[in-house]
């Protein structure tokens, strides 16, 4: 017993003096589904290759973190992406961790721009079978609304999953397509 007490003292004293002791002044805060994140503006990518040509993307992360069911718990970021490839423009959602659904049919999203009345869009699964990506069916009307809005609140409903209150700060989009 005395030996174990000495070991504990020998191990904790150097840690405290080296600045490696836990910071007691700032407790850790758990991530919740509606905890706001730092507002991040649109991010842009442009990639070229000989097969696809040029692919342009505008990417906007939601300002809040969402919780997917087990085994993807722990907080996920949903991003709204506009993509222009081979003369076609698509709008879709992707998640950093989690699946929208394993068998996707009948998904929809209700979008509210700048507090106006909600508009419903239907969603389609990704052609490559990715469960972490879903596409909006009506791309051009959606992109027009995004261009003119400052904020977007979205509810995504898929079989077995409902993500309420995805929030995006859409102001400042620079999109030529």
Sheet containing 78-85, strands listed edge to edge, beginning at the edge strand earlier in sequence: 43-49, 53-61, 78-85, 88-95, 133-136, 119-125, 108-113, 152-158, 161-168
Could you tell me the CATH number of the domain that includes residue 112?
Answer: 2.60.40
Q: What's the pLDDT score for residue 29?
A: 30
3-state secondary structure (DSSP) of residue 125: strand
Residue 142 belongs to a domain:
yes
Q: What's the pLDDT score for residue 154?
A: 95
Residue 109 belongs to a domain:
yes
The DSSP bridge partners found for residue 58 are 44, 82
Question: What is the residue range of 162's domain?
Answer: 36-168
3-state secondary structure (DSSP) of residue 89: strand
Number of domains in the chain: 1
Short-list 134, 73, 140, CA closest to 105: 134
Residue 156 belongs to a domain:
yes
Residue 54 belongs to a domain:
yes
Residue 92 belongs to a domain:
yes
Residue 82 belongs to a domain:
yes
Q: What's the pLDDT score for residue 70?
A: 79
Q: What's the pLDDT score for residue 40?
A: 64
Q: What's the pLDDT score for residue 129?
A: 82
SS (H, E, C) 145-169: HHHHCCCEEEEEEECCEEEEEEEEC
Looking at the whole model, is its pTM more than 0.85? no
Beta strands 119-125 and 161-168 are unpaired
Residues 134 and 123: their CA atoms lie apart, in Å, by 6
Mean pLDDT by 10 residues, the chain (177 residues): 42 38 31 50 93 93 88 88 94 90 74 95 88 91 96 88 88 93
99's CB contacts (< 8 A; 6+ apart) are 68, 72, 131, 132
Residue 155 belongs to a domain:
yes
Q: Would residue 6 be called left, alpha or beta, if left means φ above 0 and alpha means ψ between -120 and 50 degrees?
A: alpha
Residue 56 belongs to a domain:
yes
């Amino acid at each position: 017993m005395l030996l174990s007490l000495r070991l504990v003292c020998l191990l904790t004293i150097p840690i405290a003096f080296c600045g490696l002791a836990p910071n007691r002044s700032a407790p850790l805060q758990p991530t919740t589904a509606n905890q706001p994140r730092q507002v991040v503006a649109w991010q842009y990518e442009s990639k070229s290759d000989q097969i696809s040509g040029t692919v342009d993307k505008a990417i906007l992360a939601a300002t809040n973190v969402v919780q997917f069911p087990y085994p993807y718990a722990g907080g996920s970021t949903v991003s709204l992406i506009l993509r222009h490839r081979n003369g076609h423009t698509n709008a879709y959602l992707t998640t950093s961790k989690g699946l929208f659904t394993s068998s996707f049919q009948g998904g929809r999203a209700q979008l509210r721009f700048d507090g106006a009345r909600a508009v419903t869009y239907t969603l389609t699964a990704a052609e490559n079978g990715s469960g972490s990506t879903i596409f909006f069916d009506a791309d051009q009307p959606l992109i027009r609304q995004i261009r003119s809005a400052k904020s977007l609140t979205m509810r995504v409903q898929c079989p077995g999953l409902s993500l309420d209150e995805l929030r995006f700060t859409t102001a400042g989009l620079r999109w030529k397509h």
